[in-house]
Structure 1
């Protein structure tokens, strides 16, 4: 455990954040790729250091080096923000981040926006291979019961409200998402499904 809310924290912090760092635990948010600490409120990778961090993976020095840097910071792979008072909000997973033409795009940001569409019940955003930009944005959408929509209708909803490069180039409608036995959505399978449906052969 890295962070925790306190019993005397306001209710909105207890339900909207994962709290502040525990005693004798260090937490920081860094920019992916540069590992530079970001200002309060800016999204980045959640890192932690302290007595709670493992020494390493058993007989796997390469995995240890990838997870724990030279200064002892464990890179969790979680995307998060931290406010001025140290309260953290988890915003996604680093492995799900889309890099389009050198721009970092965070799927959860697009998902949260698309949830505002009155016809959308659920949505998952993934990155798929693209020859020109490296990756492109794709949205898999489950519509509310009885609703119909087109891909262009969804894009029009986005125009002028989110950055152009974040508007999904590809949009597919589905009845369900592939999930694990524990109910976790398998985004890697959505990426594979997209490549098959669109006939993409780029790795």
Structure 2
């Protein structure tokens, strides 16, 4: 994790310091170099956002590097897809433990437990951390959503920020009158307290008045063995307002599937309106400093005609 990020500064530096452990830092993320460092230094814990974890797995497989020393893989910042978790289990011998949070919450809100198994481990972001509350609330009227109903993930607790520095307006837009911090993430919570994240409120695609969530489409497509990474975003359309553009990266050594094959594949899993209208192949994704895919940049490049696609 980069040190300017809450995961790097709070979790890694302060967490390692408080436990008297050794922290191995890399100045630039190079997946092959990181895989080789794991083989050489034999760390027990590896952390990174999902794009980085996937890159390390690919590098370890391609170079036949032994990373079996790892006992715990921690990832956060976004939902970890089930396919990635399965790949981690095959490569490291352990699943990915997801930690979900924000800088505004110092940073953790929910976490998976080492004893979690099955769908709770691969399809959720765990349960609320100790001494805090998590509530799923309607983005339209802030009412509490029912169990398993989708809404905005909100939290309150001792670890919340006081506010944004010298920006009371931004603070009031994030923390409501009842003290709930609105994360901007969409999700749901089960009767057992396991939280699912389904996307960002601002990333939601509104196609003909119907709300579509990129994370759901991405998770379905990542079950295809030829796809290494997938990112979906909304792009303008005269008829529907917005339609789904799907940006894909081919897995190493895989044959590129046709657009028709991908449409059939996704239709077996999701309803017609969730089928992407554009299929765009990329060699790499634009990333933030913390390693997250910049979907807005992909969408902007597509609209400007800088990326090719096939229109349904």
TM-score (norm 2): 0.57
* Larger RCO, structure (CA 8 Å, separation 6 or more): 1
Distance 1:96 1:22 in 2: 26
Q: Helix, strand or coil for the counterpart of 2:133?
A: strand
Q: Helix, strand or coil for the counterpart of 2:202?
A: helix
Match of 2:153 in 1: 46
Any conservation in 1 of the 2:226–2:254 contact (CA below 8 Å)?
Answer: no
Match of 2:276 in 1: 168
> Which structure shows the higher helix fraction?
2
Q: Of the candidates 10, 26, 32, which is equivalent to residue 133 of structure 2?
A: 26
For the pair 1:178 / 2:278, whether they are aligned, the reply is no
- Deviation of 1:103 after TM superposition, in Å, equals 1.4
For the pair 1:117 / 2:224, whether they are aligned, the reply is yes
Any conservation in 1 of the 2:135–2:144 contact (CA below 8 Å)?
Answer: yes
- Deviation of 1:125 after TM superposition, in Å, equals 0.6
Distance 1:146 1:32 in 2: 41
Distance 2:220 2:240 in 1: 23
Distance 1:125 1:19 in 2: 24
Relative to 1, partners in 2 of residues 1:74 and 1:191: Cα closer, same or farther, differing over 3 Å?
same
For each residue in 1:34-81, what CA deviation from the matched residue of structure 2 results, as whole angstroms up to 9, or x when unmatched?
323222223321101233323322221221121111211110112222
Distance 1:198 1:152 in 2: 23
Match of 1:153 in 2: 261
For the pair 1:136 / 2:243, whether they are aligned, the reply is yes
Distance 2:273 2:200 in 1: 20
For each residue in 1:1-22, what CA deviation from the matched residue of structure 2 results, as whole angstroms up to 9, or x when unmatched?
3234556x44454665443334
Distance 2:191 2:177 in 1: 27
Any conservation in 2 of the 1:79–1:90 contact (CA below 8 Å)?
Answer: yes
Number of residue pairs matched by the alignment: 198
Q: Name the Cα RMSD after superposition.
A: 2.4
Distance 1:157 1:5 in 2: 30
Unaligned runs of 5+ in 2: 1-107, 308-312
Distance 1:180 1:60 in 2: 24
Relative to 1, partners in 2 of residues 1:168 and 1:5: Cα closer, same or farther, differing over 3 Å?
closer
Relative to 1, partners in 2 of residues 1:178 and 1:95: Cα closer, same or farther, differing over 3 Å?
same
> Which structure shows the higher strand fraction?
1
Relative to 1, partners in 2 of residues 1:68 and 1:137: Cα closer, same or farther, differing over 3 Å?
same
Unaligned runs of 5+ in 1: none
Match of 1:72 in 2: 179
Match of 2:303 in 1: 195
TM-score (norm 1): 0.84
